[in-house]
Amino acid sequence: MGKKVCVLEQHYTAGGYTHAYWRKGFEWDVGVHYIGEVHKEYSTLRRIFDVISQGRLQWAEMDKVYDKICIGDEEFDFVAGKDNFIESLVANFPKERQAIEHYVELIRLISKQSSTFFAGQALPPMLAKLYNKIRPKLVHKAFFKTAREVLEEITSNQKLISVLCGQWGDYGMVPRDASFLIHALIAKHYLAGAAYPVGGASSIARAIIPTIENAGGHVFTMAKVEQVLIHNNKAYGVQLAGGHKLYADKIISNIGFMNTVNHIMPPSVKTQYGMDNWTNKVTRSSASICLYAGFNQDAQSLNLKKTNLWLYPNEHIEANVDAYRTGETSELPLTYISFPSVKDPDWDNRYPGKATVEIVSLASMDDYQDWFGTTWNDRGDSYLQLKEKLSQILLKSLFKREPQLEQALEFYELSTPLSTQFYQRNDGGEIYGVNHSVDRFKQSFLHPQTPIKNFYMTGSDVLTAGVGGALMGGVMTTMRMQGVFGMNKVKKLLKAGVSQ
């Protein structure tokens, strides 16, 4: 849009949750496991990625079965393509065809109407508030219900509901608590299948940075912002750790709503606008543990597939999560397994004869209070013992599904919510910003334009979770910065694609 952009990243590598890390001759992504729609050349997300990467970012489509939902010993395939998806589920639930077809049409409708639902995010805040008051008359009533409420209106088959909600880990809230909106957007996002960035997750930042630099901007790492500089209710720059100050016409925070309010807003400004009260109206999303495992054979030799695995002990999603969080059981309520080295066609060029797996599960920062204030990689034996215990639990789940991997295991390392806190500066170790409850989407302060002139927010908290949600959050913030009469410039740019 003709602007010079300076990106300030507190981590030692750019990309946030899209970065990758290297250890012992292996590489893992830390947050990008699959992305929907980008393998379709004319999809909205693909067009945006093509524009901001100037066509450098390439995608590799996953297998047709992109997700496999495993409930106990039963397996249910999510197959790419609307009709394939329906027929695969009907094969398992032959009496539920009408419900399954209704469900698919509803998530497609919710996705189609989401632009209407979120239109206020591109308007000035006062107009957005007025718009949001009439919004319920413009969109389907399911936008304002939980996932479980809507699904139980569609079917009484609890196992089918559990299967349809098998991807709830992609937005971090159980169906009882999550808005149907976020559930529908995620489910529709993958309905046509999924893809993975060629060259790994870090390719996303590598492909975008030259666009910024070619326009006269820069991307700085190890550049932690301590405070936004504000005078007479107008933002004019930022102060970095160490005291250095940078000045700009407009300041955009992409560190999430909680971090923006709690860490970089001057105390006087927080008091003036009652921002502490804002943080009491939303909650942090779930934290996680993730095991990064490396194997000394290639994926073909180990017979690994691109399909993600979602493992559940039984169909009782909420009860299992509640029991785990209260300590009634130590059985993990959800285990997610991803095979990144198979998804990336460039992997063998970089790491021949090797393969990687990532295993993710639910966690709570409350369980790590004993180590608050400690430093990464120096938290003592008790912390290492806990990590080893959790690692073995996750490895056991993996080897039960893929026993051929056990003899090829060469290295593994576990991240906890403390790791997320250290690298992402998220106080609760949360991985999806603020929770995607029904009430979350009613909060007017989760808007690209803040009350401070020239200060904006972007990313997943102004729209929805995930790479796609954060990307669209960037589009909405850009539209708001361009103003009501400048929004069409953004639309034309994206419509023109890389030719622009």
Q: What angle separates helix 180-189 from helix 97-117, to the nearest 10 degrees? A: 100
pLDDT score recorded for residue 495: 77
Percentage of the chain modeled with pLDDT above 70: 99
Asked if pLDDT for residue 442 goes beyond 80, the answer is: yes
Quick: pLDDT tens for 371-386.
998 888 889 999 999 9
pTM of the model: 0.95
At 1, is the pLDDT very low, low, confident or very high (cuts 50, 70, 90)?
A: confident
pLDDT score recorded for residue 43: 93
pLDDT score recorded for residue 427: 93
Q: Read off the tokens for 310.
A: 């979602």
Q: Residue range 296-300: average pLDDT?
A: 96
**In whole angstroms, what is the distance from residue 408 CA to residue 354 CA?**
9
Asked if pLDDT for residue 337 goes beyond 80, the answer is: yes
Nearest to 264 by CA among 238, 224, 228, 237: 228
At 178, is the pLDDT very low, low, confident or very high (cuts 50, 70, 90)?
A: very high
- Report domain extents, the chain: 286-431
Q: Residue range 9-16: average pLDDT?
A: 93
pLDDT score recorded for residue 375: 85
Q: Read off the tokens for 420.
A: 């997320």
C-beta separation of 218 from 212 below 8 A: yes
What residues have CB less than 8 Å from 304, skipping those under 6 apart? 339, 341, 342, 355, 357, 402
Quick: pLDDT tens for 475-486.
999 999 998 778
At 489, is the pLDDT very low, low, confident or very high (cuts 50, 70, 90)?
A: confident
**In whole angstroms, what is the distance from residue 73 CA to residue 300 CA?**
25
Quick: pLDDT tens for 228-250.
999 999 999 999 999 999 999 99
Percentage of the chain modeled with pLDDT above 90: 93
Asked if pLDDT for residue 500 goes beyond 80, the answer is: no
pLDDT score recorded for residue 498: 58
Q: Residue range 407-425: average pLDDT?
A: 94
pLDDT score recorded for residue 407: 97
pLDDT score recorded for residue 493: 81
pLDDT score recorded for residue 497: 67
pLDDT score recorded for residue 417: 96
List the single range of 206-210, 366-370, 390-394, 398-402 with lowest mean pLDDT.
366-370
What residues have CB less than 8 Å from 459, skipping those under 6 apart? 254, 255, 256, 433, 470, 473, 474
Report the mean per-residue pLDDT for the chain.
Answer: 95
